[in-house]
């Protein structure tokens, strides 16, 4: 059943990227995790390429136009049937963003991540570190 869900979400990611999504991206981490992401509106899908995790996210941003912004996403990890909350605070500089986020739920805290993000035309590149001692890097392409 998990493989079917993974395939359907991956299929949806590929097809939504050209039709309805606002961005599509890729992320890799030094702990051998790799993700494909697509977002549209306030919703996002994330597929872990080793088929062990698919996640649906709904998020809202606060203070978007200010120097410091706050993003409030709620994730649902399909295979684990686990919701989580992962607020992100972003500090915007002239041509770069610094952000920190932490993922948790009522009874458990997961990891905290720090990153620097650099936009270039329709792309946005980032690199960072998280408390699982993994470095992460990736990019996002804005379609709309």
CA dihedral sign of residues 121, 112, 14, 62 = negative
What pLDDT does 78 receive? 85
Residue with token string 């720090």: 114
Name the pTM for this structure.
Answer: 0.78
Using CA atoms, how far residue 80 sits from 6, 11, 31, 44, in Å, is 13, 20, 20, 18
What pLDDT does 97 receive? 95
Task: Per residue of the chain (144 residues), give pLDDT as tens.
Answer: 555 555 555 555 555 555 555 899 999 999 999 999 999 888 999 999 887 788 999 998 888 778 999 999 999 888 888 889 999 999 999 899 999 999 888 788 888 999 999 999 999 999 999 999 999 999 999 987
Q: How many angstroms separate the CA atoms of 45 and 60, rounded?
A: 15
CA dihedral sign of residues 31, 69, 142, 2 = positive
Q: C-alpha 103: how far from its chain's center?
A: 12
What pLDDT does 14 receive? 56
What pLDDT does 35 receive? 94
The CATH number of the structural domain formed by 2-142 is: 2.40.160
Q: Give domain limits for the chain.
A: 2-142
What pLDDT does 7 receive? 57
What pLDDT does 117 receive? 97
């Amino acid at each position: 059943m998990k493989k079917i869900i993974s395939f359907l979400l991956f299929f949806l990611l590929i097809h939504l990227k050209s039709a309805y999504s606002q961005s599509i991206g890729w992320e890799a981490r030094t702990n051998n995790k790799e993700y494909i992401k697509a977002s549209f509106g306030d919703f996002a899908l994330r597929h872990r390429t080793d088929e062990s995790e698919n996640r649906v996210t709904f998020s809202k941003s606060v203070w978007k136009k200010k120097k410091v912004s706050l993003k409030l996403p709620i994730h649902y990890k399909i295979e684990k049937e686990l919701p989580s909350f992962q607020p992100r605070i972003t500090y915007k500089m002239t041509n770069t963003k610094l952000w920190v986020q932490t993922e948790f739920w009522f009874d458990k805290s997961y990891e905290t991540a720090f990153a620097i993000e650099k936009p270039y035309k329709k792309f946005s590149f980032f690199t960072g570190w998280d408390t699982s001692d993994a470095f992460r890097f990736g990019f996002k392409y804005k379609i709309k």
